Amino acid sequence: MRRVTALQDKISRPGDYRFTIRVGEFNRTYLMHAPSCYDGSKRMPLVVAFHGGGGRAEAMDTTSGLSVKAEEVGFLVAYPDATRPEMDKPYSFRANPQTWNEGSGRFHSGQQNIDDIGFVDCMLDNIEARFAVDKKRVYATGFSNGSSMTYYAGIHLAHRFAAIAPVSGHLWVREFHLSRAVPMIFIIGLADPLNPPGGGVVEALGRTDVKPSILEEVPRWAQALRCSMTPEVIFDRGGVKAIRYAGGREDSEVMFYTVEGLGHSWPGGKELLPENLVGKQSDKLKANDIIWEFFKRHPMK
Span of 9-13, 68-72, 115-119, 243-247 with lowest mean pLDDT: 9-13
pLDDT tens digit sequence for 205-248: 778 989 999 999 999 999 999 999 999 999 999 999 999 999 99
Cα dihedral 75→102→271→3 (10° resolution): 50
Question: What's the rounded Cα separation, in Å, for the pair 77 and 278?
Answer: 25
Give the pTM: 0.96
Question: What's the rounded Cα separation, in Å, for the pair 127 and 4?
Answer: 11
Per-residue pLDDT at 4: 38
Q: Is the per-residue pLDDT at 127 higher than 60?
A: yes
244 CB-near residues (< 8 Å, 6+ apart): 231, 232, 234, 253, 254, 255, 256
Three-class secondary structure of residue 102 per DSSP: coil
Q: Is the per-residue pLDDT at 1 higher than 70?
A: no
Say if residues 7 and 101 touch (Cβ distance below 8 Å).
no
Question: What's the rounded Cα separation, in Å, for the pair 266 and 159?
Answer: 27
Per-residue pLDDT at 205: 77
Give pairs for 64-70: CB < 8 Å, separation 24+: 64/141, 64/143, 64/266, 64/269, 64/287, 64/288, 65/266, 65/268, 65/269, 65/270, 65/288, 66/33, 66/141, 66/288, 67/16, 67/33, 67/35, 68/288, 69/288, 69/289, 69/292, 70/33, 70/35
Per-residue pLDDT at 244: 98
Question: What's the rounded Cα separation, in Å, for the pair 165 and 256?
Answer: 10
Three-class secondary structure of residue 201 per DSSP: strand
Q: Is the per-residue pLDDT at 5 higher than 50?
A: no
Q: Is the per-residue pLDDT at 6 higher than 70?
A: no
- Across the range 48-64, mean pLDDT stands at 98
> Which residue in 291, 294, 271 sits closest to 282, CA to CA?
271
Per-residue pLDDT at 3: 37
> Which residue in 25, 30, 18 sits closest to 124, CA to CA?
30
Per-residue pLDDT at 96: 97
pLDDT tens digit sequence for 154-194: 999 999 999 999 999 999 999 999 999 999 999 999 999 99
Q: Is the per-residue pLDDT at 44 higher than 80?
A: yes
Write down the domain spans for the chain. Answer: 2-297
Q: Given pLDDT bands bounded at 50, 70 and 90, which one contains residue 8? A: low
Q: Is the per-residue pLDDT at 78 higher than 50?
A: yes
Cα–Cα separations (whole angstroms), residue 285 to 31, 63, 116, 264: 26, 15, 30, 14
Q: Given pLDDT bands bounded at 50, 70 and 90, which one contains residue 74? A: very high
Average pLDDT, the chain: 95
Which top CATH class is 2-297? Answer: alpha beta
> Which residue in 290, 268, 57 sits closest to 186, CA to CA?
290
